[in-house]
Chains A and B, each alone.
Chain A
Amino acid sequence: MRLRGTYYKEWSAHYGGDEASFHVELLPGCDVYRGHFPARPICPGVCHIGMLKECMEEAVGVKLAIDTIKQCRMTAVASPEFCSELDIRMHIQ
C-alpha cells in the first residue's frame, strides 16, 4: 500500500533537523473513494495518518512503523472535492 501517487501527490517538501513541512494535493481519482463513500467522496481519516507516516519516512530517510499513537484528533472532514490541497507540518522528536 503506497498512498503517495494514489491518494496524494507531493508538491513540495522541506526538511532537515527537527522540523519538516510538506504541501500535498489530494487525488480525487483514488480507488478508496469508490467505497468511502459511494457517490460521496470523503477522505478516510486513517489515510491522513498514513500520509503523515510516508512524509515522515521521507524526512528521516528510513521506513517507519507506527508503534503508538498517543493522540490524534481529526478536526474537520476533508474531501478532494472541496479541499484539494493540504499543508503538513511536523516536529520530529
Chain B
Amino acid sequence: MISFEITRLIPQREPILMVDRLERVEGDSAGTLFCIREDNFFLEADGRLAEIGVIEHIAQSASALFGYKAALAGVSEPEVRYIGEVKKFRCYRCPAVGETLHTVITVEMEVEGITLVHGETRVGSELIAETQMKLSDKT
C-alpha cells in the first residue's frame, strides 16, 4: 500500500493530472490507477479519452514510479520528466468516461538520465493500449 498522495510524486496538476494513485511498486515495476471523469482535458465529443490522453496517463504513471523512488530517497519536490520518445505505441481502443485505467509500468533500461519504460494499460482484463517510452529529467 503506497501511502504517498499522487501530488507528492508527480508535478502535474489539474486539468492535466492523469494518475489518481500509485498502487504498488515491486522493484522496477509499478501499477497505477486512473478513473476517467467527465471533466477530463482529453475527452472527445463521443465521451472517449483521446489516444494522446492515454499516452499522457502512461507517461505520468512512469513519472509516479520515479517520483516514488525519489521521495523514498528524500527528494522533497516531485521532479519534472519530459517525454523524449514514444515508440511502438498501440491503441486498441479508446477508453470511455466512467472506465478505470490500470497501467503497469516496467523500467527496461536507464542510461545517463534517460529511462526507457514499457507501459500497458488495461480496463479490467482488457489491454487497451501499450507503448515504449523514453523519459528524461533533462531538457
Contacts and interface: CB of A to CB of B under 8 A. Distances in A.
B15 A34 contact: yes
Given A34-B14, A68-B89, A45 B83 contact: yes
Contacts of B90: 67-68
A64 B82 CA distance: 26
Interface stretch (B27-35, B43-51, B67-75, B96-104): B43-51
A50 B52 contact: yes
A31 interface: yes
B contact face: mostly helix, strand, loop, or mixed: mixed
A32 B16 contact: yes
Contact of B56 (A38, A44, A68, A71): A44
Interface in B88-139: 88-91, 94, 131, 139
Nearest to A69: B89
A77 interface: yes
Interface in A34-48: 34-38, 42, 44-47
A8 B56 CA distance: 18
Contacts of B139: 76-77
Nearest to B10: A37
B42 A35 contact: no
A14 to B, nearest CB: 24
Interface of B: 11-17, 41-44, 50-53, 55-56, 59, 80, 82-91, 94, 131, 139
Interface of A: 1, 31-32, 34-38, 42, 44-47, 49-50, 53, 65-74, 76-77
25 contacts: A31-B15, A32-B41, A34-B13, A35-B17, A36-B12, A37-B11, A44-B16, A44-B56, A45-B83, A45-B86, A46-B52, A46-B56, A47-B52, A50-B50, A65-B91, A66-B51, A67-B90, A67-B91, A69-B87, A69-B89, A71-B87, A74-B83, A74-B84, A74-B85, A77-B139
